Amino acid sequence: MDRKTLDLEGKTIDEAIEKACKEFGLPRERLNIEIVSEGSSGFLGIIGSKKACIRASVMSFDLAMEGDRDNEHEQKIETQPVPQTASDPMEATVADDNGESLAVKAKEVLHGILQRMGLDFPVNIDETHDTINLRIEGDGSGLLIGKGGQTLDALQYIINKATNKNGKERKRIILDTEDYRMRREKTLIALAEKLGQKAKRTRKPVTVNPMNAHDRRIIHLALQDDKQLMTKSRGEGNYRKIIILPAKKN
């Protein structure tokens, strides 16, 4: 039985994490928690509440450190064959300690790609318990961002795939350059507010252009607290879009 990763539900994220700790018999710090969906008590209490869902796994850092502490976690950490052409002295020192951490691997792949694109920019790493944030110190040309962030998203997607392909330990990798993510979030919130006003004024649903899950989430969250509005997503895959509805008057 594979107990490497477990999906758990709870009323809140904290409750789900607590369950995960019991399930693995390990303290919180030893687990990798990935939030699949945040629970909500329902939009304005009109739509039913959603359970929080998390994906938990044992940190493979611990596996490497303690070896076969426990039969279930016996699998060895393999060092992934990352083509190592991008070698700068900084990286080498970090990569040395026991295998390679995901963050180092992610940075290496990103650096390798950038070099071959002829964009040899420095990359900063910032790691939290479930995400790795990579910040490219760009030249401000926006080349790495692309139209609507498509180049940045494509890079982020590829790096996630390449880094997490061996799948024992997984972390979400977030790529950013020139503060694009933050600027984008601000723009989206402004857009959400503008369209929200329109929905209230006209008392009719307003449709937002199709966007990816991350962008939709920002809009949902931006309008979450507005009691006069409701947000829904409609459509499939790339065409999924948000509809902002004026809330029904009770």
Partner 1 sequence: MKELITYIARALVDHPDEVKVFEVDGGRTSIFELRVSKQDIGKVIGKEGKTAKAMRTIISAAASKLRKNYILEIME
Smallest gap from Cβ 237 to partner 1, in A, equals 7
Nearer to partner 1, 10 or 146 (CB): 146
Q: How would DSSP label each residue in 89-120?
A: HHHHHHHTSSS--HHHHHHHHHHHHHHHTT--
Calculate the CA 225 to chain-centre distance: 23
Q: How would DSSP label each residue in 112-140?
A: HHHHHTT----EEEEE-SSEEEEEE---S
Nearer to partner 1, 69 or 161 (CB): 161
End-to-end CA separation in angstroms for the chain: 51
User: In the structure encoding, which two tokens stand for residue 29, read together?
Assistant: 């710090």
| Alpha helix stretches (DSSP H) within 8-79 | 13-24, 60-66
Smallest gap from Cβ 155 to partner 1, in A, equals 6
Smallest gap from Cβ 232 to partner 1, in A, equals 23
User: In the structure encoding, which two tokens stand for residue 172, read together?
Assistant: 């979400």
Smallest gap from Cβ 154 to partner 1, in A, equals 4
Smallest gap from Cβ 152 to partner 1, in A, equals 9
Smallest gap from Cβ 173 to partner 1, in A, equals 13
Nearer to partner 1, 13 or 113 (CB): 113
Nearer to partner 1, 16 or 162 (CB): 162
Nearer to partner 1, 46 or 143 (CB): 143
- C-alpha–C-alpha distance, residues 195 and 207, integer Å: 8
Amino acid at 249: K
Q: Are 176 and 131 in contact (CB under 8 A)?
A: no
Smallest gap from Cβ 229 to partner 1, in A, equals 32
- Residues comprising the chain, all counted: 250
* Binding site residues, partner 1, CB under 8 A: 81-83, 85, 109, 112-113, 116-119, 143-144, 146, 150-151, 153-155, 157-158, 161-162, 165, 237
Tell me, what DSSP letter sits at residue 146? -
Nearer to partner 1, 16 or 109 (CB): 109
Q: How would DSSP label each residue in 128-185?
A: -SSEEEEEE---SS-TTT-GGGHHHHHHHHHHHHHHSTT-SS--EEEEEETTHHHHHH
